[in-house]
Amino acid sequence: MIEFRGVTKTYPNGTTALKDVNLTIEDGEFVFIVGSSGAGKSTFLKLIIREEVANAGKIRVNGFDFSTMKKRDVPYMRRTMGIVFQDFRLIPKMTVFDNVAFAMRVTGAPPRQIRKRVSKVLALVGLSHKARCMPGELSGGEQQRVGLARAMVNNPKMIVADEPTGNIDPERSFEMVKLLSEINRRGTTVLMVTHERSLVERFDRRVIQIDDGSVISDTGVKESHEDE
Ligand SMILES: Nc1ncnc2c1ncn2[C@@H]1O[C@H](COP(=O)(O)OP(=O)(O)OP(=O)(O)O)[C@@H](O)[C@H]1O
């Protein structure tokens, strides 16, 4: 569960990216975050994953209260979530398989379990045949799916996905949402930032719209699993 109460984020250069944001996202929800470029969407995600720290307000994520959480607890908090970054952040010198396996190795999982689980998530994102490729040999959409496989591999409570800006192929985004819907159906909370209104309109999900640092609309808590 995510709770924001009166959250404000001002960057060191004086830009206020979020102003007094209040919202709750329950476990198991699927939420789209929309808004124009520079509205504050990535900042919202960065506060959730604690890549940035709020200047004011209270944030609680998956049982962790950020105002009292110790620095050493941050890695435990992060293990409750899988993150798909806007710029993918794959390791260029590792194969697709190893990029995904790496996220499991750092948790100390046994090699046999790693092989099994990595194969499973690569199959789920449709990339079994690319397991031995290097990230540079993949298309943008394929790299994004490796990022999703890596985010899922430790079976997190929640997946947070920041869609790449710029030239996104609408079909690629659609495929990504279908995959995330499938993951959500299995019980994982999903938050996805998207720049495509048309995409959001194709799926009947909760939509939070951010404009100039404020939540200007929120379709509210909806039953998941109600579309498709
Ligand atoms: N590290 C930073 N330092 C200073 N200002 C920043 C920083 N990151 C973001 N901003 C500013 O904060 C505001 C919100 O940015 P943010 O990246 O959250 O927007 P966004 O909605 O994700 O945009 P986009 O759709 O283009 O990715 C913008 O005015 C941006 O210029």
Task: Please count the other Cβ atoms lying within 10 Å of the Cβ belonging to residue 91.
Answer: 12
42 CA to middle of ligand 1, Å? 7
What span, in angstroms and rounded, lies between the C-alpha atoms of 61 and 26? 10
ipTM higher than the 0.95 cut: yes
Report whether residue 17 contacts ligand 1, using a CB cutoff of 6 Å: yes
Is the distance from the beta carbon of residue 39 to the nearest atom of ligand 1 less than 6 Å? yes
What does the alpha-carbon distance between residue 83 and residue 125 come to, in Å, rounded to a whole number? Answer: 15
Flag whether the pTM goes above 0.80. Answer: yes
Residues 133-156 pLDDT 10s: 999 999 988 999 999 999 999 999
Nearest to 151 by CA among 161, 140, 141: 161
What is the distance in A from the centroid of ligand 1 to the CA of 225? Answer: 32
**40 CA from centroid of ligand 1 (Å):** 6
Ligand 1 and 144: CB distance under 6 A: no
Quick check: helix, strand or coil at residue 97?
helix
Tell me, using a 6 A CB cutoff, whether residue 164 lines ligand 1.
no
pLDDT tens track for 44-53: 999 999 999 9
In the chain, the largest separation of any two C-alpha atoms, in whole Å, equals 50
Between the CA of residue 44 and those of 14, 113, 160, 228, what are the distances in Å? 17, 34, 11, 28
Cα dihedral: 84, 88, 89, 94 (round 10): 110
> Does the beta carbon of 187 sit less than 6 angstroms from any atom of ligand 1?
no
Rg of the chain on CA atoms, in Å: 17
Q: Which helix (H) or strand (E) holds 143?
A: helix 140-152
Q: Give CA angle at 224 (223, 228), nearest 5°.
A: 120
Q: Are 194 and 32 in contact (CB under 8 A)?
A: yes
pLDDT by 10s per residue, the chain, length 228: 999 999 999 999 999 999 999 999 999 999 999 999 899 999 999 999 999 999 999 999 999 999 999 999 999 999 999 999 988 999 999 999 999 999 999 989 999 999 999 999 999 999 999 999 999 999 988 999 999 999 999 999 999 999 876 666 777 788 889 989 999 999 999 999 988 888 888 888 999 999 999 999 999 844 445 444
DSSP string, 163-210: ---SS--HHHHHHHHHHHHHHHHTT-EEEEE-S-HHHHHHS--EEEEE
Report the distance separating Cα 114 and Cα 168, nearest Å.
Answer: 32
